[in-house]
Amino acid sequence: MPATFVLLPGAGSDSWYWHRVAPILEGSGHSVIAVDLPYGDDAAGQYEFADVVVDAVEDVEGSIVLVAQSMSAFTAAIVCQRGEVDVDLLVLLAPMLPAPGEAPGQWWETTGQPEAKRAFAVLEGRDPDAPDDLRALFFHDVPDDVTEEAFSQEEPVVSNTPFETVWQADAWPHVKTRVVAGRRDRLFPLDFMQRIVRERLGIAPEVIDTGHLAALARPGELAAMLERYASEL
């Protein structure tokens, strides 16, 4: 049965991030709403982001699959917690998987991400002390033409406000949740993601053979995973 996929981008990105996945889902008869979140707005935190998502889906009928990339896991958790949208399935892609009472800005240290990122750099033979190179960190497995298109766009402005928003919750919302992690993710290494997902949700992530940006690197494979999840509703 066709579903509506509501796609949220990661920090500093926008709906363009999903431009390779959306046509595949639509071609299979699904509806797609790729949401732009106001990352550059100093007046907008995670709860304001959640308002944007709720407004975007207010007229949707049928099954809703909410898909959140990286930091938008915080936004998605708030959307599900508030209950204004009947989310049938939450899919977290390479997520900053939040814990109740945590802000995105705290997440890095509370999870041990810097140490995990450094250890993976050493494992791959990269200099762990080198300054972050966006192409090497995020686009190492993305096709060259897609990478060039990404870097040809206007440089994003990202406010500190969404990083400072504390998720006011006591527990994970009661919504069916799946997590997808990249086998070659240099920002959130696989063993790190497996540990965080196990500790915080008690489940294991499904692995896709990509870096952090699966929707750009392997859109067909990711779309097939999303369609399979929707078919199981």
* pLDDT number for residue 225: 98
Find residue 32's DSSP bridge partners: 5
* pLDDT number for residue 33: 98
Establish how many alpha carbons lie within 13 A of residue 106's alpha carbon, considering only the half-sphere containing its beta carbon: 12
- Range list of β-strands (E), 13-128: 31-34, 64-69, 89-93
Which secondary-structure segment (H or E) carries 106? Answer: helix 104-111
1/114 Cα distance (integer angstroms): 42
Pick from 42, 39, 23, 40: nearest CA to 31: 23
* pLDDT number for residue 74: 98
3-state secondary structure at position 205: coil
* pLDDT number for residue 62: 87
pLDDT digits (tens, 9 = 90+) for 50-73: 999 999 998 888 899 999 999 999
Percent of the chain surpassing pLDDT 90: 93
24/109 Cα distance (integer angstroms): 37
Q: Is the distance from CB of 15 to CB of 34 less than 8 angstroms?
A: yes
Length of the chain in residues, anyone?
Answer: 233
For the chain, which ranges sit under pLDDT 50?
A: none
The phi, psi pair for 104, rounded to 5°, reads -55, -35
> Which class in CATH covers the domain with range 4-231?
alpha beta
